[in-house]
């Protein structure tokens, strides 16, 4: 390139240049580009070789390339050496072109005497080395790509003129043969840092308006995408391979070439018919210099990246396809094959002529190369020509294409942008760390606040303490002062007193009193004594006052506690009263219940009997018609309460029926008749006046027979009632006993269910118990046992009769013991009656209670029972009776008994019970 000696007349559009030579050229700003003239033999266009790929200084300005810098498409012409065939075939002919590289001119021989001269940016002879071609044609563009500009290197020419040789030669056999692609990548790899920058490559073929991926043959119809904003063209569907070293790039090119060959075989075409496109994307990060900006400003500035794209295009052969004619394509196919190339020619024409419309959209190639011609890329075109005069036509058309391309002006733009992604990533990290820092600071803040609060509290309490101390000291000081001044006052006072005394003395002397010095001395102690006495009196008065106060206080306390006590007592009294009332009511209710019970029993009994009578009324045609009619109205109140019994008209009955007849009915076959008869007899027996008559008539025997022979409980009940009535008479008692009455009554009791039956039986036995003569017999025949056995039913009426019997028996025994006929323990006690007595002594039922109390008193009369009574606890019941019994006579009886029995007295003394 230093060989250039160009005038630089056409360099004005390149702006500033790197080399001194370029700078020199730029200084000469002559006329704008001329229209090239094929005819002119003068220099039409001159340019320095360096200018071909000169990078605009805008690349250093870093203005993002928005405005862009004008940059013409650079065109070099390369002549292929004669090949073997041409050596022979064209041996007698001169080459069709003559090159003048030093003036960058090409002379096209029209005929032996006429030539057309053309000026190019670079003229490369058949001797030009691959290295030189790279440096002149490609290197400036590659450097631009590394600086962040898009770049295009393209070869245009007839098939076989060396396009592929120039661009794609791998140089595996001879390194000197390496073409532009290989050298470009070598340069790029040498320049970039793979740590921060990246290189990626796509390799494509365009054939019959179809873009095929040479790195992935399956990918055979790749879409071209244009960014409507930036106008950038991309092929998102193309395989993009990252390149990290030259070797992998060479492999990739080989692979692409192999695929291209395979694809073209399949399509039955030659590679000369297709366009090969290599795209190299270079992404470089700019090292942002730390310029002392603040941390924030620096971190907010996104890193800069420059993205340069190098496009290397090995165009299809520029010869007209119709001329080759060897491939058997139809005309339509031929049109399609050449469409892209002819469209490129049209676009370049339009651009060269500054036409308002450039038909970029007419073909895929022109769409792909939109940036390369009239766009923002830096573009270098190599037109390849052969020397053979036989191809003069094609060579001429190639030269004309090149000439037109030289007129195409691009606005080169720097492809620099901010990397917002990495900025945002970095900012996120920063934000996180700031958040953490903020949290820590907040915690520290809270801690600090806490610390200050605690400190403040401490200070406050400290101040309070100091204040209290000071206060105390002050108080103490004042007290001391006070004591001090009191002392002083006292001293003054005594001084004054003395003075006064002295004055008095003096006065005394004056008035002629004989007060010796001795006498003077005796007055002072007297005065002191007086004041001492005064003090004592005062003290006493104080003490008295304090004592009085104390007394008053205690008095008040006393009144208070008294008041409380009184209110408490009245409350207790009230409760006591309530309790008493409750107890009384309870007792009343219980009594009522018992009465109601009895009444209920009586009513049900009466109802039962009345019902039976009514049922039988009229149907019974026995001889006792009058009896029946009478009996139907019968009631047996006498049995319940003989005293209040409604007296039946017995006299009338006797008159009508006769006792014998009634008694005979007791043995009647009809049970009902027997029942009625026994009721009548019982009613009669309730009258004392009838009793003897009944017994004499054999009524007692008949009644006892009924107990023995019938099982009817009603008969048992009524019969027992009658027997009980009869048993009130002493003679009858003996009769009953003689006729085995005890036994009969015992078995009746044992079988009875009805409490009233038991009541009658118990009543009968109780009456027998009152007979002094029958005591032993009664007991031995099981009378007492039968009596005690009946308590099982628990009915108060029965219990009352049992208690009565026991009391009667005990009375007889006590009588016997008083008369001295009784020795040893009571038969009652022997039969176990005592424990029942003690158990029931506290009963609330008055009827039972009276009998039990009497029984206890009678038993206690006999000293022989005393031990047993102590043992069974009966003594306590006696004590209770002697104190609480409402009947005065029983109370005094119990008392007498207790006090007259040595055993009881001993026991009571032992237990320190005072019965007085
Ligand atoms: P095209 O790609 O334009 O059809 P090629 O690059 O295939 O042409 O070249 C055709 C032949 O010419 C190849 O054998 C190539 O090696 C040879 N050739 C092309 N240019 C040169 C050159 N400058 N020096 C030596 N041989 C060349
Ligand atoms: Mg080729």
Model confidence over 337-375: pLDDT tens digits?
788 999 999 999 999 899 999 999 999 999 999 889 888
**What confidence tens digit (pLDDT) does each residue in 502-520 have?**
888 887 766 655 544 454 5
Does residue 361 contact residue 233 with C-beta atoms inside 8 Å? no
Distance 256 CA to ligand 2 centre (A): 14
**What confidence tens digit (pLDDT) does each residue in 461-492 have?**
999 999 999 999 989 999 998 899 899 999 98
**What confidence tens digit (pLDDT) does each residue in 859-880 have?**
888 888 888 888 888 888 888 8
Ligand 1 atom closest to residue 83's alpha carbon, by position in its atom list: 12
* Band of pLDDT at residue 693, cut at 50, 70 and 90: confident
Distance 137 CA to ligand 2 centre (A): 18
Average pLDDT estimate for 128-138: 96
Of 83, 101, 136, 160, the one to substitute when testing ligand 1's pocket (max ligand atoms within 8 A of C-beta) is 160
Dihedral over Cα of 633, 634, 640, 641: its sign = positive
Q: Cα(154)–Cα(382) distance, rounded to whole angstroms?
A: 6
Q: Cα(253)–Cα(276) distance, rounded to whole angstroms?
A: 11
Structure tokens at 13: 């559009």
Q: Cα(554)–Cα(842) distance, rounded to whole angstroms?
A: 50
Nearest ligand to the CA atom of 158: 1
3-class SS at 125? coil
pLDDT of amino acid 37: 37
Does residue 346 contact residue 359 with C-beta atoms inside 8 Å? yes
Query: Most distant CA pair in the chain: distance in Å?
Result: 204
Q: Cα(297)–Cα(294) distance, rounded to whole angstroms?
A: 5
Instruction: With a cut of 90, say whether residue 898 has pLDDT above it.
Output: no
Q: For atom 17 of ligand 1, which residue has the closest CA?
A: 162
Average pLDDT estimate for 278-303: 72
Distance 174 CA to ligand 2 centre (A): 19
Distance 78 CA to ligand 1 centre (A): 11
- Name the residue among 385, 375, 307, 318 with its Cα closest to residue 345: 318
Quickly list DSSP for 542-569: HHHHHHHHHHHHHHHHHHHHHHHHHHHH
pLDDT of amino acid 653: 53
Q: Cα(198)–Cα(196) distance, rounded to whole angstroms?
A: 7
pLDDT of amino acid 656: 56
Distances (CA, A) of 639 to 25, 138, 422, 680: 167, 155, 125, 12
Distance 726 CA to ligand 1 centre (A): 171
- Residues lying with their CB under 5 A of ligand 2, a single-atom ion: 163-164
- Does ligand 1 come within 6 angstroms of the Cβ of 901? no
Distance 170 CA to ligand 2 centre (A): 13
- What is the distance of C-alpha 161 from the center of its chain? 85
Distance 265 CA to ligand 1 centre (A): 21
Beta strands in 163-303 (DSSP E): 198-207, 210-213, 225-226, 233-234, 241-242, 275-285
pLDDT of amino acid 642: 41
Strand partners, 99: 106
**What confidence tens digit (pLDDT) does each residue in 53-79 have?**
344 433 333 344 455 677 899 999 999
Distance 274 CA to ligand 2 centre (A): 9
Does residue 287 contact residue 303 with C-beta atoms inside 8 Å? no
Q: What percent of the chain has a predicted confidence (pLDDT) above 70?
A: 81
- Does ligand 1 come within 6 angstroms of the Cβ of 162? yes
Helix, strand counts (H, E) of the chain: 36, 17
Distance 80 CA to ligand 1 centre (A): 7
Average pLDDT estimate for 43-52: 35
Does residue 75 contact residue 406 with C-beta atoms inside 8 Å? yes
Q: If DSSP states are collapsed to H, E and C, what string results for 748-787?
A: HHHHCCCHHHHHHHHHHHHHHHCCHHHHHHHHHCCHHHHH
Structure tokens at 546: 């304090």
Distance 162 CA to ligand 1 centre (A): 4
- Name the residue among 616, 736, 590 with its Cα closest to residue 676: 616
- Does ligand 1 come within 6 angstroms of the Cβ of 384? yes
Does residue 761 contact residue 749 with C-beta atoms inside 8 Å? yes
Instruction: Write the burial class of residue 707 (CB in 10 Å: 0-12 exposed, 13-18 middle, 19+ buried).
Output: buried
Q: For atom 11 of ligand 1, which residue has the closest CA?
A: 160
- Does ligand 1 come within 6 angstroms of the Cβ of 269? no
pLDDT of amino acid 606: 63
Quickly list DSSP for 10-72: T-GGG-S-SSHHHHHHHH---SPPPPP-SS--S------TGGGGPPPTHHHHTSTTSS-EEEE
**What confidence tens digit (pLDDT) does each residue in 807-845 have?**
999 988 888 888 877 677 888 888 889 988 988 888 888
Nearest ligand to the CA atom of 180: 1
Q: Which residue did the predictor score with more confidence, 2 or 191?
A: 191
Distance 207 CA to ligand 1 centre (A): 21
Of 136, 155, 160, 162, the one to substitute when testing ligand 1's pocket (max ligand atoms within 8 A of C-beta) is 162
- Does ligand 1 come within 6 angstroms of the Cβ of 897? no
Ligand 1 atom closest to residue 78's alpha carbon, by position in its atom list: 23
Does residue 33 contact residue 407 with C-beta atoms inside 8 Å? yes
Does residue 338 contact residue 324 with C-beta atoms inside 8 Å? no
Q: Which residue did the predictor score with more confidence, 197 or 320?
A: 197
Nearest ligand to the CA atom of 173: 1
- Does ligand 1 come within 6 angstroms of the Cβ of 163? yes
**What confidence tens digit (pLDDT) does each residue in 77-100 have?**
999 999 998 998 888 888 899 999
Cβ burial 308-322 (10 Å sphere, 16+ → b, else e)? bbbbbbbbbbbbbbe
3-class SS at 99? strand
DSSP 113: T
- Does ligand 1 come within 6 angstroms of the Cβ of 275? no
- The pair phi, psi for residue 272, each rounded to 5°, is -65, -15
Average pLDDT estimate for 711-726: 89
**What confidence tens digit (pLDDT) does each residue in 199-246 have?**
999 999 999 899 999 999 999 999 999 988 877 889 999 999 999 999
Instruction: Give me the residue label for tokens 């009953």.
Output: 736
How many CA atoms, within 13 angstroms, populate the side-chain half-sphere of residue 852?
26
Kindly report the pTM of this predicted structure: 0.48
Share the mean pLDDT of the chain.
81
Q: Cα(302)–Cα(286) distance, rounded to whole angstroms?
A: 11
- Does ligand 1 come within 6 angstroms of the Cβ of 130? no
Q: Cα(771)–Cα(144) distance, rounded to whole angstroms?
A: 158
Phi-psi region of 15 (alpha: psi -120 to 50; beta: other; left: phi over 0): left
Does residue 387 contact residue 126 with C-beta atoms inside 8 Å? yes
Nearest ligand to the CA atom of 169: 1
Within 10 angstroms of residue 160's Cβ, the number of other Cβ atoms is 18
Ligand 1 atom closest to residue 155's alpha carbon, by position in its atom list: 3
- Does ligand 1 come within 6 angstroms of the Cβ of 391? no
Q: Cα(113)–Cα(317) distance, rounded to whole angstroms?
A: 30
Angle between helix 180-191 and 139-147 (nearest 10): 40
Distances (CA, A) of 292 to 296, 299, 488: 11, 12, 86
Q: If DSSP states are collapsed to H, E and C, what string results for 810-836?
A: HHHHHHHHHCCCCCCCCHHHHCCHHHH
Phi-psi region of 268 (alpha: psi -120 to 50; beta: other; left: phi over 0): left
- Name the residue among 39, 69, 52, 61 with its Cα closest to residue 4: 52
* Band of pLDDT at residue 52, cut at 50, 70 and 90: very low
Q: Cα(913)–Cα(906) distance, rounded to whole angstroms?
A: 10
Of 165, 169, 274, 383, the one to substitute when testing ligand 1's pocket (max ligand atoms within 8 A of C-beta) is 165
Which contacts qualify for 535-540: CB closer than 8 Å, 24 or more apart? none
Distance 81 CA to ligand 1 centre (A): 9
Please give the helix or strand (H or E) that residue 878 lies within, else none. Answer: helix 874-884
Ligand 1 atom closest to residue 168's alpha carbon, by position in its atom list: 6
- Residues 6+ positions from 350 with CB-CB distance below 8 Å: 357, 358, 359
Structure tokens at 489: 């006052």
Proportion of the chain in helix, strand, coil states, percent, rounded to 5: 60, 10, 30
Distance 160 CA to ligand 1 centre (A): 6
pLDDT of amino acid 601: 61
Within 10 angstroms of residue 641's Cβ, the number of other Cβ atoms is 10
Q: Which residue did the predictor score with more confidence, 566 or 915?
A: 566
pLDDT of amino acid 299: 61
Angle between helix 671-685 and 688-696 (nearest 10): 130
3-class SS at 415? coil
Q: Which residue did the predictor score with more confidence, 8 or 438?
A: 438
Angle between helix 902-910 and 874-884 (nearest 10): 90
Distance 254 CA to ligand 1 centre (A): 18
Of 80, 341, 388, the one to substitute when testing ligand 1's pocket (max ligand atoms within 8 A of C-beta) is 80
């Amino acid at each position: 390139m230093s060989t250039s000696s160009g005038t630089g007349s056409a360099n004005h559009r390149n702006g500033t240049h790197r080399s001194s030579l370029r700078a020199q050229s730029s200084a000469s700003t002559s006329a704008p580009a001329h229209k090239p003239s094929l005819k002119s033999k003068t220099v039409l266009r001159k340019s320095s070789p360096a200018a071909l790929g000169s990078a605009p200084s805008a690349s250093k300005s870093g203005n993002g390339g928005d405005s862009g810098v004008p940059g013409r498409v650079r065109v070099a012409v390369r002549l292929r050496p004669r090949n073997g065939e041409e050596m022979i075939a064209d041996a007698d002919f001169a080459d069709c072109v003559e090159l003048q590289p030093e003036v960058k001119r090409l002379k096209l021989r029209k005929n032996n005497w006429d030539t057309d001269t053309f000026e190019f940016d670079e003229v490369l002879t058949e001797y030009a080395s691959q290295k030189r071609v790279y440096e002149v044609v490609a290197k400036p563009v590659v450097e631009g790509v590394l600086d962040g500009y898009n770049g295009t290197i393209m070869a245009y020419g007839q098939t076989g003129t060396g396009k592929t040789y120039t661009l794609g030669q791998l140089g595996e056999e001879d390194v000197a043969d390496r073409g532009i692609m290989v050298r470009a990548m070598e340069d790029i790899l040498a320049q970039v840092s793979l740590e921060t920058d990246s290189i990626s490559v796509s390799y494509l073929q365009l054939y019959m308006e179809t873009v095929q991926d040479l790195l992935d043959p399956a990918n055979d119809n790749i879409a071209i995408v244009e960014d409507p904003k930036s106008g950038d063209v991309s092929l998102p569907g193309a395989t993009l391979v990252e390149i990290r070293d030259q070797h992998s790039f060479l492999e990739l090119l080989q692979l692409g070439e192999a695929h291209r060959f395979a694809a073209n075989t399949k399509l039955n075409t030659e590679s000369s018919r297709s366009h090969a496109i290599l795209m190299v994307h270079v992404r470089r990060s700019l090292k942002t210099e730390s310029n002392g900006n603040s941390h924030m400003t620096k971190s907010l500035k996104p890193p800069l990246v420059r993205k340069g794209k190098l496009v290397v295009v090995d165009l299809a052969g520029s010869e007209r396809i119709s001329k080759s004619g060897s491939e058997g394509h139809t005309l339509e196919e031929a049109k399609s094959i050449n469409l892209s190339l002819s469209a490129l020619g049209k676009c370049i024409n339009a651009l060269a002529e500054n036409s308002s419309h450039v038909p970029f959209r007419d073909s895929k190639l022109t769409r792909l190369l939109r940036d390369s011609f009239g766009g923002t890329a830096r573009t270098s075109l190599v037109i390849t020509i052969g020397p053979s005069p036989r191809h003069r036509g094609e060579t001429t058309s190639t030269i004309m294409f090149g000439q037109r391309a030289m007129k195409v002006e691009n606005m080169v733009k720097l492809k620099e942008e901010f990397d917002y992604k990495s900025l945002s990533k970095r900012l996120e990290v920063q934000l996180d760390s700031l958040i953490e820092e903020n949290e820590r600071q907040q915690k520290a803040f809270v801690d600090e606040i806490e610390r200050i609060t605690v400190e403040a509290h401490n200070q406050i309490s400290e101040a309070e303490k100091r204040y209290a101390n000071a206060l105390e000291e002050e108080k103490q000081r004042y007290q001391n002062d006070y004591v001090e001044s009191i002392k002083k006052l006292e001293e003054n006072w005594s001084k004054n007193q003395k003075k006064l005394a002295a004055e008095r003395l003096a006065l005394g002397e004056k008035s002629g009193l004989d007060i010796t010095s001795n006498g003077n001395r005796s007055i002072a102690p007297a005065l002191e004594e007086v004041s001492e006495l005064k003090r004592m009196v005062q003290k006493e008065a104080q003490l008295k006052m304090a004592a009085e106060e104390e007394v008053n206080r205690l008095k008040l306390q006393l009144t208070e506690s008294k008041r409380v006590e009184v209110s408490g007592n009245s409350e207790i009294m009230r409760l006591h009263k309530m309790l008493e009332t409750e107890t009384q009511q309870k007792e009343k209710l219980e009594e009522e219940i018992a009465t109601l019970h009895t009444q209920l029993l009586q009513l049900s009994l009466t109802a039962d009997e009345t019902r039976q009578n009514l049922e039988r009324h009229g149907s019974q045609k026995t001889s006792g018609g009058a009896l029946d009619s009478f009996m139907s109205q019968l009631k047996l109140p006498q049995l319940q309460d003989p005293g209040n019994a409604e007296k039946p008209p017995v006299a009338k009955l006797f008159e009508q029926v006769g006792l014998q007849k009634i008694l005979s009915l007791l043995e009647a076959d009809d049970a009902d008749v027997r029942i009625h008869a026994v009721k009548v007899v019982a009613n009669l027996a309730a009258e004392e006046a009838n009793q003897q008559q009944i017994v004499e008539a054999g009524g007692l025997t008949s009644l006892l027979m009924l107990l023995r022979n019938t099982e009817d409980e009603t008969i048992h009940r009524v019969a027992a009632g009658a027997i009980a009535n009869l048993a009130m008479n002493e003679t009858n008692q003996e009769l009953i006993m003689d006729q085995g009455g005890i036994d009969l009554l015992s078995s009746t009791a044992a079988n009875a269910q009805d409490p009233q039956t038991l009541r009658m039986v118990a009543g009968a036995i109780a009456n027998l118990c009152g007979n002094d003569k029958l005591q032993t017999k009664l007991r031995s025949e099981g009378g007492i046992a039968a009596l005690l056995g009946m308590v099982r039913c628990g009915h108060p009426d029965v219990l009352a009769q049992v208690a009565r019997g026991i009391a009667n028996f005990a009375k007889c025994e006590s009588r016997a013991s008083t008369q001295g006929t009784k020795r040893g323990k009571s038969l009652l006690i022997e039969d176990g009656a005592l424990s029942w007595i003690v158990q029931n002594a506290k009963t609330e039922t008055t009827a039972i209670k009276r009998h039990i109390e009497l029984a206890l008193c009678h038993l206690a009369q006999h000293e022989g029972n005393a031990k047993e009574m102590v043992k069974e606890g009966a003594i306590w019941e006696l004590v209770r009776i002697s104190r609480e019994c409402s009947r005065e006579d029983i109370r005094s009886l119990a008392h007498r008994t207790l006090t007259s029995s040595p055993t009881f007295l001993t026991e009571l003394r032992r237990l320190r019970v005072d019965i007085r």
